[in-house]
Amino acid sequence: MTVYKFYREPGRYIEAQPERWRWEAYYTDGSSLKQFDDKELLYHQFREIDQSKLDRFVMRHEKSYLVAPLTLKFKPWMKLIHYYENTVSMSMGRGPTRHEKVYCFGYEGSKGKTIIRILPDDSIEVTDGSNN
Amino acid sequence: MAADVKIVESNGAGETETDITSGNLNMGSGDYASITSSATLPIAAGANGYEKYLRFYVNDISTSDHIKTLKVWMSTDGLTGSDAMMIYATETGYVQKSYAQPVATDSSVATYYIAEAEPSGANVGKGGSLTATLGNGEYSDYIPIQLQVAADTTTGGSFTLSFKYEEVA
């Protein structure tokens, strides 16, 4: 399996395991930044994205040959958002703990947020970020 | 690797901490974490379970940047009769609660009925703030919770609590 390195501090890295959905940022000058950089084998954090020159934000499935990517055409008035929702559900007398991860991305503008939630079955929901 | 966030429970006068993420949230008539059988520490009708003091704990932030928007709610309510799950977790007027040795009398801190739907925003904070973020090795505030069993309860009650956090990676 490919190993991606993440340098939290110079000279010391930890290994980043690939995500089922990963982001790619494409800039107006033709360059790009990928969460999992296949050329340098580096992991990049979301905050490394330069939103001042962002053109497109793409969420790509690990099986990109089976699942189409999702693209956000970025506008200068947008504030880009990306996070994971993690839910741990614990039952009394009903079996084991259940973990669920939802991949979220979108933007915030003067009229509020628009968040696309990619659910565990890879279906998507479009929300205002409040989840209810 | 994604961040490793645990749900931990504190017990006893000396505040013994237990990771219950892979354990259970069984309530009982004793101040213990991960009670393995409801038969060993049953709560009598008309009595309370011992309080539990829970927290989110970032065991390893790994490649992520921070954790935010902490929520807890009862996602499945299978309690019977007039049983009530009391908690301190709120989206409004939130203040930090301190740890105290759990008791089985009516809790003086877990005084809100637990939400039965996902809150729209955070209802658990850090340092008294619902917008504060958690980094590596950091804890949320305590989440005091207590099952108050009613006189009209029947056997077989159950519930599911959900703990949710957003991870910025």
pLDDT at residue A132 greater than cutoff 60: no
Q: Kindly determine whether residue B161 and residue A90, on different chains, have CB atoms separated by under 8 Å.
A: yes
Condensed to tens digits (0 to 9), the pLDDT of residues A31-84 reads: 999 999 999 999 999 999 999 999 999 999 999 999 999 999 999 999 999 999
Can you give the residue ranges of every domain in chain B?
A: 1-169
| Residue B147, min C-alpha distance to chain A (Å) | 11
Contact list, A84 vs chain B (CB under 8 Å): 2, 166-167, 169
8 Å CB contact between A14 and B3: no
Distances in Å between the Cα of B3 and the Cα atoms of A114, B6, B24, B121 are 25, 10, 21, 21
Residue numbers of chain B with a pLDDT score lower than 70: 1, 37-39
Q: Which two tokens stand for residue B111?
A: 């005084």
Condensed to tens digits (0 to 9), the pLDDT of residues B15-30 reads: 999 999 987 888 999 9
DSSP letters for B24-35: -----SSS-SS-
Can you give the residue ranges of every domain in chain A?
A: 19-127
Nearest to A14 among B25, B63, B160 (CB): B63
pLDDT for the residue numbered A1: 78
Where does B61-154 show beta strands of DSSP type E?
A: 66-78, 84-87, 112-113, 143-148
CB atoms within 10 A of CB A100: 13
pTM of the model: 0.95
pLDDT for the residue numbered B157: 87
Nearest CA in chain B to A89: B162
Q: Is the ipTM, as predicted for this complex, more than 0.90?
A: yes
| Residue A65, min C-alpha distance to chain B (Å) | 23
Distances in Å between the Cα of B18 and the Cα atoms of A54, B32, B164 are 45, 9, 19
Condensed to tens digits (0 to 9), the pLDDT of residues A87-129 reads: 999 988 666 789 999 999 999 999 999 999 999 999 999 999 8
